[in-house]
Amino acid sequence: MNKTWNQKAWLLVLPVVLLVAFNALVPMMTVVNYSVQETFGNNTFFWSGLQWFEQILTSERFHAALGRQVLFTSIILLIEVPLGVAIALCMPKKGVWVPVCLVLMALPMLIPWNVVGSMWNIMALPDIGLLGYFLNEVVGWQFDYTQDPIDAWVTIIAMDVWHWTSLVVLLAYAGLVSIPDAYYQAAEIDGASRWAVFRHIQLPKMKSVLTIAILLRFIDSFNIYTEPFTLTGGGPGNATTLLSIDLVKIALGQFDLGPAGAMSLIYFAITLLVSWLFYTLMTRNDP
């Protein structure tokens, strides 16, 4: 039986595609223009070729910021993905508590990014913050994220885990509730353990949603800016100056548009390449 494909539906999507393409291509071309030229103001440009790319790629400052960014993203993925799956497994699948749990999980994601940074900034201050006071006076930890680099890292990681683990939870939960009851009934008949059910039924069935969760969390954490900048400003010193924060400092603080443009394109290429590798590795055995 031959199927007839109606391609007219693309006409409904075309305006959105054109709008998104325009909003993406114009800024991209502007960045490319700055990355291969030098300007001294008055809208006067001089061709510089690949000079800025060579400068960025051989810069110790760039390598240090990239290393901090990779470390932050790796820690976030190692914490949030397993934690999100664990929480999703503990959530009820039926009953009146299901909507309550879903709403509570969604609440952190509804808070604007700059507000999250401000909240944690106030809460973690060692003198007046509730969290800072508790850690210093009750726990006995000499906590001061404004002076100690380790405390600053712990704080920005805790902030991101609080803010974005919910995304992994909701995606994992969606994968879990889509599993037919017949799988669990067959596992019960076979006498499968709880670990065997998770390994052979739940985890494979969650593979697609976990792929999406990992990609979203990688892209977001690797390009994060607002929350850590609002919380620490990249300090103390340069301890939490992630690649995104360093890029903004170069572009707006120093107004070095050429190096900033080259750094933006390198940043974009790294994000795109790693995302492609993630997706390829996680879907290579799919039918």
Residue boundaries of the structural domains of the chain? 63-283
For residue 43, pLDDT over 80 is answered with no
Alpha-carbon gap, residue 110 to 240, rounded angstroms: 25
Question: How many other C-beta atoms can be found within 10 angstroms of the C-beta atom of residue 117?
Answer: 22
Q: What is the pLDDT of residues 157-171, one digit of tens each?
A: 999 999 999 999 999
Amino acid found at 10: W
pLDDT-based confidence at residue 2 (cuts at 50, 70, 90): low
- What's the pLDDT at 103? 92
pLDDT-based confidence at residue 153 (cuts at 50, 70, 90): very high
- The arithmetic mean of pLDDT across residues 78-98, rounded, is 93
Four-way CATH pick for 63-283: 3.60.20.10, 3.90.180.10, 1.10.3720.10, 3.40.50.720? 1.10.3720.10
For residue 124, pLDDT over 70 is answered with yes
Least trusted range by pLDDT, from 42-51, 106-115, 126-135, 233-242: 42-51
Least trusted range by pLDDT, from 6-15, 173-182, 217-226: 6-15
List all residues 6 or more positions away from 232 whose beta carbon is below 8 Å from its beta carbon.
Answer: 145, 146, 152, 155, 156, 239, 240
Q: pLDDT averaged over the chain? A: 90
Amino acid found at 268: F
For residue 34, pLDDT over 60 is answered with yes
For residue 61, pLDDT over 60 is answered with yes
pLDDT-based confidence at residue 4 (cuts at 50, 70, 90): low
List 47's β-bridge partners, or say none: 37
- What's the pLDDT at 17? 84
Q: What's the chain look like in SS3?
A: CCCCCCHHHHHHHHHHHHHHHHHHHHHHHHHHHHHCEEECCCCCEEECCCHHHHHHHCCHHHHHHHHHHHHHHHHHHHHHHHHHHHHHHHCCCCCCHHHHHHHHHHHHHHCCHHHHHHHHHHHHCCCCCHHHHHHHHHHCCCCCCCCCHHHHHHHHHHHHHHHHHHHHHHHHHHHHHCCCHHHHHHHHHCCCCHHHHHHHHHHHHCHHHHHHHHHHHHHHHHCCCHHHHHHHCCCCCCCCCCHHHHHHHHHHHCCCHHHHHHHHHHHHHHHHHHHHHHHHHHHCCCC
- What's the pLDDT at 1? 53
Q: What is the pLDDT of residues 194-242, one digit of tens each?
A: 999 999 999 998 988 999 999 999 999 999 999 999 999 998 989 999 9
Rounded CA Rg of the chain: 23
- What's the pLDDT at 19? 87
pTM exceeds 0.85 for this model: yes
